[in-house]
Structure 1
Amino acid sequence: MITGMDRLVAAIKGEKADRIPVFCNLLDQGVKELGLASLHDYYQLGEYVAEGQLKMREKYGYDNVWSLFYVGKEAELLGCRKILFSPDGPPNVEHFVIQSYDDIHNLEIPDDIIHHPVFAEELKCLQILKREVGGRYPICGYVTASMALPALLMGMDKWFELLFMGPPDVRDELLAKCSLFCQRHIAALRELGVDVIVYANPFGSTDFVPLPYIIKTGMPWMKQDLSAGTQGIVYYCGGARFNQVIESVISQIGIETYYLSPLDDIATGKQIINGRGLTCGVINDIKLIDWSEEQIRQEVKRMLAAGMAGNKFLFGTILMPYKIPERNIRAMLDAVYEFGQF
């Protein structure tokens, strides 16, 4: 039997399995699979999240599982005391840890993430996933880059203000602390056997900041975040475009997997990567809420025609919105399984 890990390894090597690997990033939908009352209840226990991940992978047949609960978990590890749980959307940070520059000076980075009380349920989830599917299906983890993490700690508007107009010494103090956290988070996930680590950095996209700024200011922080090596790291800009940045990242950092934006041209991205890594074509999964099944089928067909030539290609989603109808999830995956065969 060919496993998801077999497909991923073949794609990385530029070889052919039965089909391309498919990463379908269903998170909040696990609450439906377990019949729980709310997302708040679902995310209270690592056993629930692990069971949801295993059930959804088995149900739909794609190739990965996630240890990620929700992005705000990182803020909780750094002192966030309240997460806002929506009835039909992803949880988000409600309490910002940083309210003043003094809070930056007082921000403490945990030495031991694995045994941190806030990490306890994610640890349980990872242990279950490793036991049940480890080695057969890639286990994915998620870390936020040092340039992006402050937005979870102080809000996007205040972070933009500090980043571009605030005192440089205060900005750099916060970035240094966030980079240390990112490094320790990556180390913890690797120690626990996570296979794929999505390195999320919207500030590595020209949709957020100009390319010269990324190269001059952003790249040194990326290098520091990833100073322990890029094995298993996936470069992801939170759905923002970054075809213009790929060449610089390859040459300066050496990341070998690029999770494109739905707004990036797949053929162009693959041409830039030019066999030096894995290209991940990503569907605009927000549109899956309203698209017809035929529209989904045609979009998948278009994407695979652009990306499959020459191998080293993976089909992916962003973080699938909770409101996508199940029939549309199945339509997308059925189309990938059909057109993604070799």
Structure 2
Amino acid sequence: MTPLQILAAAQNGTPAPRIPVFCNLLDQGAREMGLRPQSYFADGAAVAEAQLRMQRRYGQDNVWSLHYVGKEAEILGCKEILFAHDGVPNVADFVIKSLDDIAKFEIPADITQTEAWQPIGECLSILADEVGATHPICAYATASTTLPAILMGMDKWMELFLLGPFDLRDELLRKCSDFFHQEIAALRAAGANVLIYSTPFGSPYFVGRRQVEAGVLPWMRRDLVPGGVEGIVYYCGMAPFNEVIDLVFAELGITTHYLGPLADLADAKVLIGNRGLCCGVIDDIRMIHWTPEQTRLEVQRIIEIGKPGGHFLFGNGVMPLAVPEANIRAMLAAAFEYGNWQ
């Protein structure tokens, strides 16, 4: 079976030789290609080639089209990204500097015609041609309730979200949701078949369950209704969200849940049952300091909890550059060994 077929089997509860195994390697690509991050991320073909090389080397099931989260801000007018040789690129120029900017903030009529989109489109075109029929191609789209954090800064967004003025808050959310509609459609059209719906505000860890229900869920519905939830993965930025899993099933219809390492995996397995896919996630921040044997034992622990009954995927968060390669190899070797059904 191909990795794409193994993923479908885990989602549907049908037989497969093993569980799906994801390994999310993003910032490692520049090092793989011997390029400075700024040059690497400007070249969609280089990003695609790095993903294909790393997939062949390590054997994980998935590849990624995500360059960095700030790409969405660039599409929407961000003029400066701060690149680092040992970390994640960050937004250095906020699109919305004051509340007055919200009225002037506009979504491009066609985001695929913007300069910032071109490397993403090029990367996806290559990945779709090379492995689109056989492998999960992951793309990343930020929910409307989270996107403002990279447009104006988390502190200002939290203040506006919780305290208002609510007319301005809702105007910004409408625009961000309209952007999401375009982005998710463009990612699908370009070949992405696993769509990570990044919604940290969809976790009670950030704003509480009552606020999730009243202030976040309506916007998540607005985000997702036009294009549907096929291929959508519920992801809260590694924050735990067991408390709202039933709500996500009932109100959004999303059946794939990418948990964080702080979540109670056994509890999540019970909550999800055979309704969808439970994704157990290793703590790859702690992996920086683990030995390969410690990594292996943690993979074994996670899979022994999640594997019984099927409907399970093993994965990681966003592998920090500081994680030793020996630990990446140990993680994947253990995942394939303990995740085997035969």
**What runs of 5+ residues in structure 1 fail to find an aligned partner?**
none
Q: How far is the alpha carbon of 1:16 from its aligned partner? A: 2.8
Deviates more, 1:3-12 or 1:332-341: 3-12
Q: How far, CA to CA, are the matches of 2:284 and 2:92 in structure 1?
A: 25
Secondary structure of the 1:70 match is: coil
Q: How far, CA to CA, are the matches of 1:21 and 1:97 in structure 2?
A: 39
Q: How far is the alpha carbon of 1:316 from its aligned partner? A: 1.0
Q: How far, CA to CA, are the matches of 1:75 and 1:35 in structure 2?
A: 26
Q: Spell out the pairing of 1:200-279 with structure 2 (5 A cutoff).
A: 200-227=198-225, 228-279=227-278
Q: How far is the alpha carbon of 1:73 from its aligned partner? A: 0.2
The correspondence for 1:43, drawn from 23, 41, 44, is 41
Secondary structure of the 2:49 match is: helix
Secondary structure of the 2:128 match is: helix
Q: How far, CA to CA, are the matches of 2:109 and 2:17 in structure 1?
A: 43
- Normalising by the residue count of structure 1, what TM-score does the alignment of the two structures yield? 0.98
Q: Spell out the pairing of 1:68-147 with structure 2 (5 A cutoff).
A: 68-147=66-145
- Normalising by the residue count of structure 2, what TM-score does the alignment of the two structures yield? 0.98
Amino acid at match of 1:338: E
Which residue pairs with 2:194 in the alignment?
Answer: 196
**What runs of 5+ residues in structure 2 fail to find an aligned partner?**
none
Deviations 1:145-175 (A, max 9, x none): 0110000000000001111112010000011
Q: How far, CA to CA, are the matches of 2:339 and 2:161 in structure 1?
A: 43
Q: How far, CA to CA, are the matches of 1:3 and 1:276 in structure 2?
A: 23
Deviations 1:201-257 (A, max 9, x none): 110111100101101111100000001210000000001110001111111111010
Q: How far, CA to CA, are the matches of 1:138 and 1:56 in structure 2?
A: 14
Q: How far, CA to CA, are the matches of 2:282 and 2:14 in structure 1?
A: 23
Secondary structure of the 1:314 match is: strand
Q: How far, CA to CA, are the matches of 1:271 and 1:54 in structure 2?
A: 35
Q: How far, CA to CA, are the matches of 2:191 and 2:30 in structure 1?
A: 25
Secondary structure of the 1:207 match is: helix
Deviations 1:52-84 (A, max 9, x none): 000000000010110100000000010000001
Q: How far, CA to CA, are the matches of 1:318 and 1:39 in structure 2?
A: 20
Which residue pairs with 1:312 in the alignment?
Answer: 311
Q: How far, CA to CA, are the matches of 2:75 and 2:112 in structure 1?
A: 11
Q: How far, CA to CA, are the matches of 2:122 and 2:46 in structure 1?
A: 10
Deviations 1:175-194 (A, max 9, x none): 11111111111111111121
Q: How far, CA to CA, are the matches of 2:21 and 2:296 in structure 1?
A: 15
Q: How far, CA to CA, are the matches of 1:101 and 1:338 in structure 2?
A: 53
Q: Spell out the pairing of 1:158-169 with structure 2 (5 A cutoff).
A: 158-169=156-167
Q: Spell out the pairing of 1:152-191 with structure 2 (5 A cutoff).
A: 152-191=150-189
Secondary structure of the 2:228 match is: coil
Output the aligned Cα RMSD: 0.9
Secondary structure of the 1:23 match is: coil
Q: How far, CA to CA, are the matches of 2:109 and 2:275 in structure 1?
A: 35
Deviations 1:104-150 (A, max 9, x none): 11111112122222101111111110111111111111000011000
Secondary structure of the 2:100 match is: helix
Deviations 1:245-299 (A, max 9, x none): 1111111111010000110011111111121111100111111111111111111
Q: How far, CA to CA, are the matches of 1:9 and 1:112 in structure 2?
A: 32
Amino acid at match of 1:158: K
Q: How far, CA to CA, are the matches of 1:185 and 1:85 in structure 2?
A: 24
Identity in percent? 54
Q: Spell out the pairing of 1:282-297 with structure 2 (5 A cutoff).
A: 282-297=281-296
Q: How far, CA to CA, are the matches of 1:78 and 1:35 in structure 2?
A: 29
Q: How far, CA to CA, are the matches of 1:213 and 1:31 in structure 2?
A: 39
